[in-house]
C-alpha cells in the first residue's frame, strides 16, 4: 500500500494536537454552529502539500478548499479534521480522514485519531486494519442487541426532526443504546471494528465518509444510502452496519 495517505494523516494529526492544547479561534461557515478553525486549515494545507508533492497530477476534493480537478482517474478526498465541533469544545473525539478514489471507486481509506493514536486504514481487497491489526465488524444480528451511532447534520429543521423520530423508533426496538460521537468518519470506523453495530446520518458530504466507507466494507460491513440503495460517493446520506442488521435498520429508517 502506498504510505502517502498514512504519512499525511499523521502529519495532520500532529498539527491538530498542537492546536488542541491552545485556545483556537473558530469562524462560522454559514450556520453559527458549523465551525472552521485554524487547525482545520493548517491540517488541510499540510495534507494537500504532501499529496501534491508525490502525485501532482491527481485531482483533489477537500472540505476547506473545494475541488482541484486534473485530467486524472485518481482523486483524493480529504476531511482534514472530522469532528471540528468536538475539537473546538475540547471533547476528545475527532480525526483526520483521507481517501483515494479511482474513477469514483475507493482504493485507499485512512482515518487517524491523533489523541488515541488510532490509525484505521484499508486498501481495496486487502482488509481493514487498526494499528496493524486486522479488524472485523461485529456478529450482532438483531437490533435488540445492538449499539447504534447516529449523526445530525448542521441543520436544525426537518432533517433533525426526522432523525429524532428515527431514534425513537430504534429505542422502541430495544437497542442497547445510541451514541452521537460528532465524527462521521469515526462512526464508520467504530462500526468497522465492532464498537458500533450500525450508524446512520441523513446528510453528509463525501469527505465525511469517503475513507470510512472503505474501512467499513473491507472489515465486512455494508454501507448504502438510507433507502438501501447502492453506495456512491455522491449519495449524501448513509446507513452503515455490520451487514447482519442492515435490512432491519433500513426498514426502521423508512417506516
User: Binding segment for Ca ion among 63-71, 101-109, 226-234, 240-248 (CB under 5 A)?
Assistant: 63-71
Shortest CB 42 distance to Ca ion, Å: 13
177-179, strands of its sheet edge to edge: 177-179, 147-151, 198-201, 238-241, 222-224
Is the distance from CB of 61 to CB of 70 less than 8 angstroms? no
- Please select the residue that binds Ca ion; options are 44, 79, 123, 218, rule is CB under 5 A: 79
Q: How far apart are CA 151 and CA 239, in angstroms?
A: 11
Cα-flanking dihedrals φ and ψ of residue 236, to 5°?
Answer: 80, 0
Residue nearest to Ca ion (CB): 82
Contacts with Ca ion by CB under 5 A: the residue count is: 5
Burial of 188 (0-12, 13-18, 19+ CB in 10 A): buried
Shortest CB 47 distance to ligand IPD, Å: 14
Give the largest Cα separation in the chain, rounded: 52
- Please select the residue that binds Ca ion; options are 4, 77, 82, 113, rule is CB under 5 A: 82
Cα-based distances in Å from 6 to 20, 182, 189: 21, 22, 15
Q: Is 208 in the site for Ca ion (CB under 5 A)?
A: yes
CA angle centred on 223, ends 222 and 225, rounded to 5°:
145
User: Binding segment for Ca ion among 77-85, 126-134, 168-176, 221-229 (CB under 5 A)?
Assistant: 77-85
- Residue 208 or 218: which CB sits closer to ligand IPD? 208
- Residue 147 or 244: which CB sits closer to ligand IPD? 147
Shortest CB 253 distance to Ca ion, Å: 21
Per partner kind, with CB cut-offs from 5 to 8 A, the member of ligand IPD, Ca ion, none near residue 152 is: ligand IPD
Is the distance from CB of 152 to CB of 204 less than 8 angstroms? no
Strands 177-179 and 147-151: parallel
**Residue in this structure with the C-alpha cell 473558530, named with its chain if needed:** 26
User: Binding segment for Ca ion among 56-64, 107-115, 135-143, 223-231 (CB under 5 A)?
Assistant: 56-64
- Residue 63 or 197: which CB sits closer to ligand IPD? 63
Residues near ligand IPD, by CB under 6 A: 79, 82-85, 151-153, 182-184, 201, 204, 208
Per partner kind, with CB cut-offs from 5 to 8 A, the member of Ca ion, ligand IPD, none near residue 163 is: none
- Residue 55 or 152: which CB sits closer to ligand IPD? 152
Amino acid at each position: 500500500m502506498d504510505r502517502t495517505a498514512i504519512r499525511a494523516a499523521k502529519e495532520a494529526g500532529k498539527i491538530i494536537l498542537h492546536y488542541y492544547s491552545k485556545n483556537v479561534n473558530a469562524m462560522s461557515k454559514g450556520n453559527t454552529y458549523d465551525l472552521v478553525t485554524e487547525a482545520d486549515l493548517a491540517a488541510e494545507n499540510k495534507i494537500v502539500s504532501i499529496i501534491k508533492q508525490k502525485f501532482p497530477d491527481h485531482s483533489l476534493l477537500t472540505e476547506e478548499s473545494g475541488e482541484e480537478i486534473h485530467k486524472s482517474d485518481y482523486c483524493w478526498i480529504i476531511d482534514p479534521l472530522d469532528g471540528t465541533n468536538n475539537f473546538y469544545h475540547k471533547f476528545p473525539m475527532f480525526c483526520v480522514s483521507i481517501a483515494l478514489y479511482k474513477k469514483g471507486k475507493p482504493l485507499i481509506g485512512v482515518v487517524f485519531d491523533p489523541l488515541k493514536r488510532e490509525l484505521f486504514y484499508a486498501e481495496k481487497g486487502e482488509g481493514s486494519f487498526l494499528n496493524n491489526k486486522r479488524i472485523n465488524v461485529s456478529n450482532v444480528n438483531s437490533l435488540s442487541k445492538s449499539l447504534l451511532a447516529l449523526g445530525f447534520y448542521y441543520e436544525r429543521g426537518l432533517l433533525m426532526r426526522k432523525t429524532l423520530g428515527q431514534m425513537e423508533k430504534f429505542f422502541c426496538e430495544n437497542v442497547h443504546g445510541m451514541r452521537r460521537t460528532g465524527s462521521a468518519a469515526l462512526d464508520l470506523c467504530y462500526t468497522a471494528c465492532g464498537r458500533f453495530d450500525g450508524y446512520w446520518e441523513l446528510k453528509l458530504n463525501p469527505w465525511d465518509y469517503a475513507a470510512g466507507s472503505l474501512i467499513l466494507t473491507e472489515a465486512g460491513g455494508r454501507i448504502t444510502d438510507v433507502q438501501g440503495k447502492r453506495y456512491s460517493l455522491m449519495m449524501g446520506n448513509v446507513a452503515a452496519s455490520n451487514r447482519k442488521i442492515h435490512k432491519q435498520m433500513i426498514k426502521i429508517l423508512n417506516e
